[in-house]
Amino acid sequence: METISLKREPPFGWIYLNRPDKLNAINEKMIEELGETIKQLENDNEIKVIIITGTGKAFCAGADISHFKTLNPERAWLFAKKGRELMDKIENLGKPVIAMINGYALGGGLEIAMACDIRIASEEAQLGLPEITLGIYPGFGGTQRLPRLVGKGRALLMMFTGDKITAKDAERFGLVEVVVSKEALEEETRKMATKIASQSQVAISEIKLLVNKGLDSSIDAGLNMESLGWGVAFTTDDAKKRIDDFLSKRKG
């Protein structure tokens, strides 16, 4: 692959956005290759947690601006459509996806991170949706996902100004869950991923689905989905074993 590299390390699948000389800017090839890689890891039973990060000093500096010049309206529409479908795919994947933000996460790069389930960032990272400075606006889901994470006012302020924010501020606003030093980033991500990978994969997958669908539904519909699904999670061999283990330890 030209723009993505994959490190298969069961139970983890590490996806690297890999155009470091262009700060991992997203072109059509990257959308295509990231989609293929996600599909490959989705069908790989040994992979329980997917981690997306960037090679070099950036997570991703957004859509490739030099590429914009080559797009006619039809290709631009298709690029945005394919990008949006890829973000939806990541968000709805039956496996947890962590964005390990190692540097700039801007424009389409932040939109990839926002489609992931959890964001862990290095202290040096800077995040933002600077599309407005180019006279455009986010096209891979940013206008919808940012306000859901940080609230309407903060999201509008970020998109109206295009200003970059620090990882610490992003954590304060709820855009990033964890901030660590650059040196600790990979190790802390591994710790987080190890803990998640050790849980029941059925339960993890159901939680993800319930949270995502629940946030788009009424509280009543969400609570009903939770009750209906709960009976299924309860009957898995994994749940039975964990419950038996707990009870037998208490008896012993």
Ligand X SMILES: CCCCC/C=C/C(=O)SCCNC(=O)CCNC(=O)[C@H](O)C(C)(C)COP(=O)(O)OP(=O)(O)OC[C@H]1O[C@@H](n2cnc3c(N)ncnc32)[C@H](O)[C@@H]1OP(=O)(O)O
Residue 22 in contact with ligand X, rule: CB under 6 A: yes
Residue 131 in contact with ligand X, rule: CB under 6 A: yes
Give the span between the Cα atoms of 150 and 159, in whole angstroms: 12
Give the span between the Cα atoms of 5 and 198, in whole angstroms: 25
Residue 66 in contact with ligand X, rule: CB under 6 A: yes
Reported in sequence order, the residue ranges of 76-214 that DSSP labels E, i.e. its strands, are 97-101, 104-106, 118-122, 126-128, 165-166, 178-180
**Which has the closest alpha carbon to 63: 130, 11, 144?**
130
Least distance CB 252 / ligand X (angstroms): 57
Q: Which residues are catalytic?
A: 111, 131
Residue 76 in contact with ligand X, rule: CB under 6 A: yes
**Piece in contact with ligand X (CB under 6 A), picked from 40-48, 87-95, 127-135, 174-182:** 127-135
Residue 65 in contact with ligand X, rule: CB under 6 A: yes
Q: Which residues pair with 9 in a beta bridge?
A: 12
Least distance CB 55 / ligand X (angstroms): 13
Least distance CB 139 / ligand X (angstroms): 3
Torsion sign (Cα): 50, 56, 60, 65: negative
Q: Are the C-beta atoms of 62 and 107 separated by less than 8 Å?
A: yes
Residue 61 in contact with ligand X, rule: CB under 6 A: yes
| Cα-based distances in Å from 148 to 88, 105, 235 | 15, 18, 33
Residue 141 in contact with ligand X, rule: CB under 6 A: no
Residue 14 in contact with ligand X, rule: CB under 6 A: no
Give the span between the Cα atoms of 100 and 203, in whole angstroms: 23
Least distance CB 62 / ligand X (angstroms): 3
**Piece in contact with ligand X (CB under 6 A), picked from 38-46, 133-141, 149-157, 179-187:** 133-141
**Which has the closest alpha carbon to 52: 38, 71, 64?**
38
Residue 103 in contact with ligand X, rule: CB under 6 A: no
Cβ distance to ligand X smaller for residue 123 or 226: 123
Residue 138 in contact with ligand X, rule: CB under 6 A: yes
Binding site for ligand X (CB under 6 A): 22-23, 25, 61-66, 76, 79-80, 83, 104, 106-108, 130-131, 134, 138-140
